[in-house]
């Protein structure tokens, strides 16, 4: 499984701190051989979540789990597992983000202020040899070193996310949940228009963030999105 997440660039006002650069299974269809059901759960580590595939079986969703399957789909007919990775990822992108949005909500600014990430698995090599062409989409909540335990029903996006979902930043500038030890907390996110450059992001942050943070110094980050705009996040300094 691989996480597909946009790069986040974190800066402190006055200086750069760091840069971090559905289809159901069909009985008898070899393309879905070995695929998990949509809605099933896995109890995997962050390292396991970054693997290409897993041999672990789904677990009971009423018990401890760290990932939820939001969709299972087949590769388009024109692709196979020898196709360029960029083409496979492009196909995955048409399914996984919308599938996650259908479960937790579609507000991209609220998503940016959360620690929700999505991942995908492809079949194991043994499954591919018998014709498996599926990929699955999974949603989890990541701290800086682990995936957190998920509730039976995922918390929907909102402007007031609980600490176990909300995005904070550690002293060494790793994103984590606000339930974990942190130094900065996401306070606001907004769209800025134009071409993304360090200077443009800094101007946008300096113009908007001070009205939405609770500390004199603040952190800001950005994520490029399709079109001539990008997301800027504002972070308040915390006492923790």
DSSP per position, 41-102: EE---HHHHTSS---PPPB-TTSS-SEEEEEEEEPPTT--TTS-HHHHHHHHHTTHHHHHHH
Average pLDDT for runs of 10 along the chain of length 240: 43 36 51 96 98 97 98 97 97 98 98 98 96 98 96 96 97 96 97 95 98 96 94 91
Q: What is the pLDDT of residue 10?
A: 52
Least Cα distance to 116 among 229, 219, 9, 3 occurs for 3
pLDDT confidence of residue 82: 97
pTM given for the model: 0.87
Ordered strands of the 116-121 beta sheet: 2-3, 116-121, 134-141, 67-74, 41-42
Note the pLDDT of residue 240: 57
The pLDDT value recorded for residue 93 is 97
Count the neighbouring beta carbons within 10 Å of the beta carbon of residue 128: 17
* pLDDT in the model for residue 11: 52
* Residue 15, pLDDT score: 31
């Amino acid at each position: 499984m691989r996480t597909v997440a946009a790069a986040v660039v974190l800066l402190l006002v006055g200086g750069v701190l760091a840069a971090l650069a559905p289809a159901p299974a069909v009985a008898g269809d070899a393309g879905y051989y070995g695929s998990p059901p949509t809605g099933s759960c896995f109890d995997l580590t962050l390292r396991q979540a970054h693997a290409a595939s897993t041999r672990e079986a789904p677990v009971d969703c009423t018990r401890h789990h760290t990932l939820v399957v939001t969709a299972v789909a087949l590769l388009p007919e024109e692709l196979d597992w020898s196709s360029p990775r960029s083409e496979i990822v492009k196909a995955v992108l048409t399914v996984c983000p919308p599938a996650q949005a259908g479960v937790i909500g579609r507000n991209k600014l609220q998503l940016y202020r959360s620690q929700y990430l999505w991942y995908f698995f492809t079949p194991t090599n043994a499954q591919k040899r018998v014709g498996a062409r599926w990929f699955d989409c999974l949603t989890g909540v990541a701290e800086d070193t682990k995936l957190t335990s998920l509730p039976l029903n995922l918390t929907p996006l909102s402007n007031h996310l609980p600490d176990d979902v909300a995005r904070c930043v550690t002293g060494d500038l790793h994103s984590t949940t606000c339930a974990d030890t942190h130094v900065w907390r996401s306070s606001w996110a907004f769209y800025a228009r134009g071409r993304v450059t360090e200077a443009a992001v800094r101007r946008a942050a300096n113009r908007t963030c001070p009205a939405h943070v609770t500390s004199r110094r603040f952190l800001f980050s950005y994520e490029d999105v399709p079109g001539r705009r990008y997301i800027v996040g504002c972070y308040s300094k915390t006492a923790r």
